[in-house]
Structure 1
Amino acid sequence: MSEISISIPSLSENIRIVESFIDNAKEKFDLNDDIYGNIMIAVTESVNNAILHGNESQKDKNVFLSLNMEDNTIVFRVSDEGAGFDYNSLPDPTAPENIDKPGGRGIFLMKALSDELSFEQDGKQVKLSFYIS
Protein backbone atom coordinates (compact mmCIF):
# COMPACT_ATOMS: atom_id res chain seq x y z
CA MET A 1 0.00 0.00 0.00
CA SER A 2 1.28 3.43 -0.76
CA GLU A 3 1.57 6.11 1.86
CA ILE A 4 -1.31 8.54 2.39
CA SER A 5 -0.24 11.95 3.64
CA ILE A 6 -1.44 15.47 4.31
CA SER A 7 0.19 18.70 5.34
CA ILE A 8 -1.53 21.38 7.43
CA PRO A 9 -0.56 24.88 8.56
CA SER A 10 0.16 25.12 12.32
CA LEU A 11 -3.25 26.32 13.49
CA SER A 12 -5.07 24.42 16.24
CA GLU A 13 -8.36 24.60 14.30
CA ASN A 14 -6.75 22.35 11.70
CA ILE A 15 -7.10 19.43 14.13
CA ARG A 16 -10.49 18.85 12.49
CA ILE A 17 -8.66 18.05 9.22
CA VAL A 18 -6.64 15.46 11.13
CA GLU A 19 -9.84 13.99 12.59
CA SER A 20 -11.29 13.62 9.05
CA PHE A 21 -8.03 11.98 7.91
CA ILE A 22 -8.37 9.43 10.75
CA ASP A 23 -12.09 8.90 9.99
CA ASN A 24 -11.15 8.08 6.39
CA ALA A 25 -8.51 5.61 7.63
CA LYS A 26 -11.12 3.94 9.87
CA GLU A 27 -13.33 3.32 6.85
CA LYS A 28 -10.54 2.35 4.46
CA PHE A 29 -8.98 -0.19 6.84
CA ASP A 30 -12.18 -1.19 8.67
CA LEU A 31 -10.65 -0.35 12.05
CA ASN A 32 -12.50 -1.48 15.15
CA ASP A 33 -13.75 1.16 17.59
CA ASP A 34 -11.09 0.51 20.25
CA ILE A 35 -8.18 0.96 17.84
CA TYR A 36 -9.94 3.90 16.18
CA GLY A 37 -10.38 5.64 19.56
CA ASN A 38 -6.74 5.09 20.49
CA ILE A 39 -5.56 6.37 17.11
CA MET A 40 -7.82 9.43 17.27
CA ILE A 41 -6.54 10.50 20.70
CA ALA A 42 -2.87 9.63 20.17
CA VAL A 43 -2.51 11.08 16.68
CA THR A 44 -4.43 14.31 17.38
CA GLU A 45 -2.34 14.75 20.54
CA SER A 46 0.81 14.28 18.50
CA VAL A 47 -0.32 16.81 15.87
CA ASN A 48 -1.25 19.24 18.64
CA ASN A 49 2.26 18.89 20.09
CA ALA A 50 3.75 19.50 16.64
CA ILE A 51 1.65 22.66 16.21
CA LEU A 52 2.19 24.09 19.71
CA HIS A 53 5.68 22.92 20.66
CA GLY A 54 7.39 21.94 17.41
CA ASN A 55 6.24 24.80 15.21
CA GLU A 56 5.39 27.15 18.12
CA SER A 57 1.99 27.88 16.49
CA GLN A 58 3.67 29.69 13.56
CA LYS A 59 1.08 29.34 10.83
CA ASP A 60 3.71 29.62 8.09
CA LYS A 61 5.16 26.31 9.33
CA ASN A 62 3.44 23.04 8.46
CA VAL A 63 2.73 19.79 10.23
CA PHE A 64 2.97 16.66 8.08
CA LEU A 65 0.88 13.58 8.79
CA SER A 66 1.17 10.29 6.96
CA LEU A 67 -0.09 6.77 7.35
CA ASN A 68 1.14 3.47 6.04
CA MET A 69 -0.07 -0.09 6.49
CA GLU A 70 2.88 -2.38 7.28
CA ASP A 71 2.17 -6.07 8.05
CA ASN A 72 -1.06 -5.71 10.06
CA THR A 73 0.24 -2.53 11.66
CA ILE A 74 -1.09 0.91 10.84
CA VAL A 75 1.75 3.41 11.18
CA PHE A 76 1.25 7.17 11.53
CA ARG A 77 4.09 9.66 11.27
CA VAL A 78 3.70 13.24 12.45
CA SER A 79 6.48 15.71 11.69
CA ASP A 80 6.98 19.41 12.18
CA GLU A 81 9.37 22.09 11.02
CA GLY A 82 10.63 22.95 14.50
CA ALA A 83 14.02 22.39 16.10
CA GLY A 84 13.16 19.00 17.63
CA PHE A 85 13.47 18.16 21.32
CA ASP A 86 15.22 15.78 23.68
CA TYR A 87 12.61 13.07 24.12
CA ASN A 88 14.86 11.15 26.53
CA SER A 89 14.68 13.84 29.22
CA LEU A 90 10.91 14.24 29.52
CA PRO A 91 9.57 14.39 33.07
CA ASP A 92 7.30 11.51 34.14
CA PRO A 93 3.80 13.04 34.44
CA THR A 94 2.82 10.33 36.96
CA ALA A 95 5.64 11.20 39.40
CA PRO A 96 4.28 12.88 42.54
CA GLU A 97 6.19 16.12 41.90
CA ASN A 98 4.65 16.40 38.42
CA ILE A 99 1.03 15.47 39.12
CA ASP A 100 -0.12 19.11 39.09
CA LYS A 101 1.96 20.14 36.08
CA PRO A 102 0.14 20.32 32.74
CA GLY A 103 3.13 19.36 30.56
CA GLY A 104 4.24 15.86 29.63
CA ARG A 105 0.79 14.29 29.56
CA GLY A 106 0.51 14.16 25.78
CA ILE A 107 3.49 11.91 25.17
CA PHE A 108 2.52 9.76 28.16
CA LEU A 109 -0.95 9.33 26.58
CA MET A 110 0.54 8.61 23.16
CA LYS A 111 2.75 5.88 24.68
CA ALA A 112 -0.18 4.36 26.53
CA LEU A 113 -2.53 4.32 23.53
CA SER A 114 -0.17 3.20 20.75
CA ASP A 115 1.46 -0.21 20.46
CA GLU A 116 4.80 1.36 19.55
CA LEU A 117 5.96 4.95 19.84
CA SER A 118 9.28 6.27 18.61
CA PHE A 119 10.85 9.62 17.90
CA GLU A 120 12.85 10.24 14.76
CA GLN A 121 14.82 13.14 13.28
CA ASP A 122 15.88 14.49 16.72
CA GLY A 123 12.29 14.63 17.92
CA LYS A 124 10.90 16.43 14.87
CA GLN A 125 9.03 13.29 13.84
CA VAL A 126 6.89 10.92 15.89
CA LYS A 127 6.08 7.42 14.69
CA LEU A 128 2.96 5.85 16.19
CA SER A 129 2.19 2.21 15.41
CA PHE A 130 -1.06 0.38 16.10
CA TYR A 131 -1.43 -3.39 15.66
CA ILE A 132 -4.45 -4.49 13.65
CA SER A 133 -5.30 -8.08 14.43
Structure 2
Amino acid sequence: MNSIKLQIPSLVENIRIVESFIDNAKDKYEWDDDIYGNIMIAVTEAVNNAIKHGNRSDKSKMVHLQLDLAENKIQFQVEDEGKGFNYVSLPDPTAPENLEKPGGRGIFLMKHLCDEVSFSKEGRAVSLTFYFN
Protein backbone atom coordinates (compact mmCIF):
# COMPACT_ATOMS: atom_id res chain seq x y z
CA MET A 1 0.00 0.00 0.00
CA ASN A 2 1.17 3.48 -0.94
CA SER A 3 0.84 6.16 1.77
CA ILE A 4 1.21 9.94 1.57
CA LYS A 5 0.73 12.29 4.52
CA LEU A 6 -0.01 16.00 4.74
CA GLN A 7 -0.37 18.21 7.79
CA ILE A 8 -1.83 21.74 7.68
CA PRO A 9 -2.56 24.44 10.27
CA SER A 10 -6.31 25.02 10.82
CA LEU A 11 -6.86 27.93 8.46
CA VAL A 12 -9.62 27.80 5.82
CA GLU A 13 -7.24 29.18 3.19
CA ASN A 14 -5.15 25.99 3.58
CA ILE A 15 -7.90 24.11 1.71
CA ARG A 16 -5.92 25.24 -1.39
CA ILE A 17 -3.01 23.06 -0.22
CA VAL A 18 -5.36 20.08 0.08
CA GLU A 19 -6.75 20.74 -3.41
CA SER A 20 -3.19 20.76 -4.82
CA PHE A 21 -2.41 17.56 -2.89
CA ILE A 22 -5.43 15.87 -4.51
CA ASP A 23 -4.59 17.28 -7.98
CA ASN A 24 -1.03 15.94 -7.71
CA ALA A 25 -2.30 12.51 -6.62
CA LYS A 26 -4.81 12.46 -9.52
CA ASP A 27 -1.98 13.12 -12.01
CA LYS A 28 0.41 10.68 -10.37
CA TYR A 29 -2.09 7.80 -10.05
CA GLU A 30 -4.19 8.66 -13.15
CA TRP A 31 -7.62 8.73 -11.50
CA ASP A 32 -10.75 8.96 -13.66
CA ASP A 33 -12.47 12.34 -13.68
CA ASP A 34 -15.64 10.98 -12.04
CA ILE A 35 -13.84 9.54 -9.00
CA TYR A 36 -11.58 12.61 -8.88
CA GLY A 37 -14.58 14.95 -8.60
CA ASN A 38 -16.06 12.92 -5.75
CA ILE A 39 -12.70 12.78 -3.97
CA MET A 40 -12.13 16.53 -4.33
CA ILE A 41 -15.53 17.46 -2.87
CA ALA A 42 -15.60 14.83 -0.10
CA VAL A 43 -12.01 15.33 1.12
CA THR A 44 -12.12 19.14 1.06
CA GLU A 45 -15.45 18.97 2.95
CA ALA A 46 -13.87 16.67 5.57
CA VAL A 47 -10.85 18.97 5.94
CA ASN A 48 -13.11 22.02 6.15
CA ASN A 49 -15.11 20.31 8.93
CA ALA A 50 -11.86 19.45 10.74
CA ILE A 51 -10.68 23.07 10.54
CA LYS A 52 -13.96 24.77 11.50
CA HIS A 53 -15.72 22.29 13.79
CA GLY A 54 -12.93 20.05 15.05
CA ASN A 55 -10.15 22.56 15.67
CA ARG A 56 -12.47 25.60 15.91
CA SER A 57 -10.22 27.47 13.39
CA ASP A 58 -7.38 27.45 15.95
CA LYS A 59 -4.29 27.79 13.72
CA SER A 60 -2.08 26.25 16.42
CA LYS A 61 -3.98 22.97 15.91
CA MET A 62 -3.24 20.82 12.90
CA VAL A 63 -5.37 18.86 10.48
CA HIS A 64 -3.74 15.58 9.45
CA LEU A 65 -4.52 14.13 6.04
CA GLN A 66 -3.36 10.72 4.90
CA LEU A 67 -3.88 9.10 1.51
CA ASP A 68 -3.58 5.32 1.30
CA LEU A 69 -3.64 3.74 -2.11
CA ALA A 70 -4.27 0.03 -2.55
CA GLU A 71 -4.85 -2.00 -5.71
CA ASN A 72 -8.64 -1.56 -5.70
CA LYS A 73 -9.26 1.46 -3.47
CA ILE A 74 -8.22 4.93 -2.38
CA GLN A 75 -8.62 5.82 1.27
CA PHE A 76 -8.28 9.24 2.88
CA GLN A 77 -8.00 9.72 6.62
CA VAL A 78 -8.70 13.24 7.94
CA GLU A 79 -8.00 13.87 11.61
CA ASP A 80 -8.24 16.99 13.75
CA GLU A 81 -6.97 17.82 17.24
CA GLY A 82 -10.36 18.86 18.63
CA LYS A 83 -12.72 17.31 21.17
CA GLY A 84 -14.56 15.10 18.70
CA PHE A 85 -18.34 14.89 18.28
CA ASN A 86 -21.20 12.41 18.44
CA TYR A 87 -21.31 11.12 14.88
CA VAL A 88 -23.95 8.49 15.69
CA SER A 89 -26.93 10.80 16.20
CA LEU A 90 -26.57 13.35 13.41
CA PRO A 91 -29.69 15.21 12.30
CA ASP A 92 -30.91 14.24 8.83
CA PRO A 93 -30.29 17.25 6.54
CA THR A 94 -33.08 16.05 4.22
CA ALA A 95 -35.71 16.17 6.98
CA PRO A 96 -38.20 19.02 6.40
CA GLU A 97 -37.21 20.84 9.62
CA ASN A 98 -33.53 20.91 8.52
CA LEU A 99 -33.88 21.91 4.85
CA GLU A 100 -33.56 25.64 5.57
CA LYS A 101 -30.54 25.29 7.87
CA PRO A 102 -27.25 26.55 6.37
CA GLY A 103 -25.07 23.75 7.82
CA GLY A 104 -25.32 20.05 8.50
CA ARG A 105 -24.91 18.74 4.97
CA GLY A 106 -21.17 17.99 4.92
CA ILE A 107 -21.26 14.47 6.34
CA PHE A 108 -24.40 13.67 4.37
CA LEU A 109 -22.57 14.79 1.22
CA MET A 110 -19.47 12.72 2.07
CA LYS A 111 -21.61 9.60 2.58
CA HIS A 112 -23.11 10.05 -0.89
CA LEU A 113 -19.81 10.70 -2.67
CA CYS A 114 -17.73 7.98 -0.99
CA ASP A 115 -18.18 4.22 -1.06
CA GLU A 116 -17.50 4.07 2.69
CA VAL A 117 -17.33 6.68 5.44
CA SER A 118 -16.32 5.75 8.97
CA PHE A 119 -15.50 7.77 12.06
CA SER A 120 -13.06 6.95 14.85
CA LYS A 121 -11.27 8.58 17.79
CA GLU A 122 -14.55 10.02 19.22
CA GLY A 123 -15.24 11.72 15.89
CA ARG A 124 -11.84 13.38 15.54
CA ALA A 125 -10.98 11.16 12.57
CA VAL A 126 -12.94 10.28 9.45
CA SER A 127 -11.99 7.70 6.86
CA LEU A 128 -13.24 8.17 3.28
CA THR A 129 -12.96 5.16 0.97
CA PHE A 130 -13.38 5.06 -2.81
CA TYR A 131 -13.32 1.76 -4.73
CA PHE A 132 -12.14 1.39 -8.31
CA ASN A 133 -14.46 -0.39 -10.76
Q: Give TM class, smaller chain.
A: over 0.9
**Residue 84 (structure 1) aligned with residue 84 (structure 2):** yes
Post-superposition offset of 1:27:
1.1
Q: How does 1:86-105 map to 2 (within 5 A)?
A: 86-105=86-105
TM-score, with structure 2 as normaliser:
0.97
Match in the other structure for 1:58: 58
Is residue 97 of structure 2 the alignment partner of residue 108 of structure 1? Answer: no
CA distance in 1, matches of 2:82, 2:130: 25
Task: Confirm or deny: 8 A CA contact 2:67 2:76 kept in the other structure.
Answer: yes
Partners of 1:19 and 1:88 lie apart in 2 by 28
Q: Deviations over 1:53-90 (max 9, x none)?
A: 00000000000001001341000000000000000111
- C-alpha distance in structure 2 between counterparts of 1:31 and 1:13, whole Å: 25
Structure 2 segments unaligned to the other structure (5+ residues): none
Structure 1's unaligned 5+ residue stretches are: none
Distance in 2 (alpha carbons) for counterparts of 1:57 and 1:3? 27
Secondary structure of the 1:93 match is: coil
Provide the rounded CA distance (Å) in 2 between the counterparts of 1:62 and 1:55: 8
TM-score, structure 1 normalization: 0.97
Distance in structure 1 (CA, Å) of the matches to 2:70 and 2:81: 26
Which residue of 2 is the match for residue 37 of structure 1? 37
SS of the equivalent of 1:56 reads coil
The one-letter code of the counterpart of 2:11 is L
Which residue number corresponds to residue 11 of structure 2? 11
Aligned-CA RMSD value: 0.8
Q: Aligned residue pairs: how many?
A: 133
Amino acid corresponding to residue 98 of structure 1 in structure 2: N
